[in-house]
A and B are shown apart, each in its own frame.
Chain A
Amino acid sequence: MNFEFTEEQLMIRKAAKDYAERELIQDVLERDAKAEYPTRHVKNLAELGFMGMLVDHKYDGGGMDAVSYVLAMEEISKIDSSLGVIISVNNSLVCYGIEKYGTEEQKEKYLKPLARGEKIGAFLLSEPEAGSDATSQKTTAKDKGDHYIINGVKNWITSANTASTYVVAAQTYPEKRHHGINVFIVDRNSQGISLGPHEDKMGMRSSDTHSVMFTDVKVPKENRIGDDGFGFTFAMKTLEAGRIGIAAQAVGIAAGALDRAIQYSKERKAFGKVLAKHQAIAFKISDMAVKVENARNLCLKAAWLKDQGKPFGLASAMAKQYAADIAMEVTTEAVQIFGGYGYVKEYHVERLMREAKLTQIYEGTSEIQKIVISRALLKD
């Protein structure tokens, strides 16, 4: 047992922290207000290697371990979780999926530019009527011999507008239900793809989210990932890894709120003494810190298991559910500590509270995580 980080892990954490505190903080409020995509930051973070940090060197990635990834995600999300989700989707859903299950040709053509961050990827699984219940895919992919024809609508797609590479789930054999699902790499510029309006979200407003419509979109057969009907397994395996990133993002949101609450409690006076000297506030800080530390450790354990090549699905579900739920609690308490100031945008904690809410919903709701966890524990 060893709780020490390596020198490289510490350097990555510091690099992420420096970038967030130096650059992201400058326009995070403005981008939130205007729901503006962080083009400049995505480019800079790509140059530093964050967009493909988990991908192997031989595919132009950073070759980093999941522990480093968790540390980086936390630091970025403390300041700006919109960047957190953009990095997470590219790394742990799109790149991870193609790297683990794609062919060498697919990796050469699609993974490399994604790992370099020259291109951005999006993961298209959710549908208007298939969110948590990903088995009931209505989007179809008809087998036409040397190609597929995709029709349908995908919903809540992160980076839908910026992405050039889509990983799309669609039903090829409806009678086989989820065993009939396939996943394809689709070029965003393919004929027949159109976007719905930009979603006006409650939080993480600087990430771009749209629905995506497919009308007779032709996809070459070599763009299918894995065997015929592998799609559902692909999606579940990929989301298992994706959860680590989102859990770390939730830890970052909570830790960011905690840091701000601690600082504010030491400065703001009430009844003749600073808030920190009021036990009601001090105990809140204590409770928040314990939750953040617990969530962080769950995340790191899931990441460590992944790095060791051990099964991490249960750990990542626990980390995601717990981190998301405490992010909501901790940010709500932070707003409470700030009082009126917490309710206005200038002090960041209301934004963190809005952002925390999404971590309980996307990449598997907290309830879905509880299904995953309880099934793993209760199966015969």
Chain B
Amino acid sequence: MKILVCISNVPDTTTKIRFKDDNTAFDTTGVQWIINPWDELALTRAIELKETSGEAIEKITVVSVGPKTAEPTIRKALAIGADDAIRIDAEPKDAYFVAAQLAVVAKDYDIVLNGIEACDYNGSAVGGMLSEFLEYPSVSAVSKLEIENGEIKVSREIDGGTEVLTTQLPFVAIVQKGIAKEPRIPSMRGIMMARKKPLNIVEAVEAEVLTEFESFELPPAKAACKMVDAENVKELVDLLHNEAKVI
């Protein structure tokens, strides 16, 4: 069994967001790049499965659509424990374009893992599109993934409970928080090995770009916190009703 983990190279979650070109593009000046946190959890789960399932999992590959500047992030995934990596050499323009690229390599794998969204544009679209391209079954919002006697068991949170499913291979899992407890910290050995593991660069295929960014804007700055005396419920209700307009 082979696992593919699709990873996005995204700005660190503490990045101060700025725009350029008349608010039509994200300003990447001084930005630190990381593995998308949901993808990192997916990778952690893949490694846990490989460690606990004996010989069942042959290898874990990570794939990312991005330019050469994304390679440190890909190597971080190798340091954490992926066996090899593929970089599809293209700017990840939109979800459709990225899914089309991933589909080319993903067809060789039994389990394809995607984070539920990426913390840059939060489109939540690549995983679903990818499974359509591949014509694989997919399960979204997976918070648990196990292999029991060669059978895949996934759990997902639904309103008021948990749904447990089994699925055939190959399949696409779109994973969310809970899939692994926390991302794994790479060991010294892993960090030193990262450069020795294969990182294959693949040419992009022709694919349409279906979306275009018109403009971005920042959410309004948070208003100052207003303190209301604990005794004064009437004032609180009044403020919530007339000023915050939430009740």
Contacts and interface: CB of A to CB of B under 8 A. Distances in A.
Contacts of B92: none
B52 to A, nearest CB: 17
B51 to A, nearest CB: 13
Contact of B187 (A10, A47, A63): A47
| SS class, residues of chain B in contact with chain A | helix
B70 interface: no
A57 B191 CA distance: 13
B178 interface: no
Nearest to B192: A63
B238 interface: no
A15 B185 CA distance: 6
Contacts of B189: 49, 62
Interface residues of B, number: 14
A18 interface: yes
A114 B192 CA distance: 19
B187 A7 contact: no
B187 A11 contact: no
B182 A11 contact: no
A19 B76 CA distance: 16
A257 interface: no
Given A7-B72, A7-B75, A15 B191 contact: yes
Given A11-B79, A22-B182, A50 B72 contact: no
B41 to A, nearest CB: 14
Contacts of B191: 8, 11-12, 15
Interface in A33-60: 47-50, 53, 57
B197 to A, nearest CB: 13
Contacts of B79: 11
A48 B79 CA distance: 11
A247 interface: no
Contacts of B192: 8, 57, 62-64
Given A7-B72, A7-B75, A11-B76, A53 B188 contact: yes
Interface string B160-204: 000000000000000000000010011111011011000000000
13 contacts: A8-B192, A8-B194, A10-B72, A11-B75, A15-B187, A15-B191, A22-B182, A22-B185, A48-B185, A49-B187, A49-B189, A63-B192, A64-B188
Nearest 8 CB-CB pairs, A to B? A49-B188, A62-B188, A48-B187, A11-B191, A49-B187, A15-B185, A7-B72, A18-B185
